[in-house]
């Protein structure tokens, strides 16, 4: 990035004035840098929040899976018990 400027002291000589000639590229650079600097914390916050939400969903899905698995095992045990009772009642006849 080439920056052209002119420096000139004031009449009193206590200050120096600067005039930038091709400022559009510099303005774009500063604008992009500041935009990213202000947005970066929000982006990071959103990433952390998304990660926490994903972890919570995974824990909930795991809990649901375990509950469904336990219910399936209970149903299978109940069916097996019912089959035994039914088989015993047929043996009596």
Give the burial class of 64: count Cβ atoms within 10 A of its Cβ; 0-12 exposed, 13-18 middle, 19 or more buried.
Answer: exposed
Residue 92 has pLDDT above 70, yes or no: no
Q: Quick check: 56 pLDDT over 70?
A: yes
Q: Over 70: is that where the pLDDT of 93 sits?
A: no
What gap in Å lies between CA 61 and CA 84, rounded to an integer? Answer: 34
Phi, psi of 22 (to 5 degrees): -110, 75
**Residue written as tokens 């045990």?**
77
Phi-psi region of 30 (alpha: psi -120 to 50; beta: other; left: phi over 0): alpha
Q: 22 by DSSP, 3-state: which?
A: coil
Mean pLDDT of all residues in 16-31: 86
What pTM did the predictor assign? 0.45
């Amino acid at each position: 990035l080439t920056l052209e400027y002119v420096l000139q002291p004031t009449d009193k000589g206590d200050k120096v004035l600067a005039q930038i000639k091709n400022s559009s590229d510099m303005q774009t650079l500063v604008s992009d840098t500041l935009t990213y600097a202000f947005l970066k914390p929000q982006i990071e916050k959103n990433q952390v929040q998304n990660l926490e939400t994903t972890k919570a969903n995974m824990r909930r899905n795991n809990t649901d899976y375990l509950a469904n698995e336990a219910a399936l095992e209970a149903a299978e045990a109940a069916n097996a018990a019912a089959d035994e009772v039914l088989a015993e009642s047929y043996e009596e006849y």
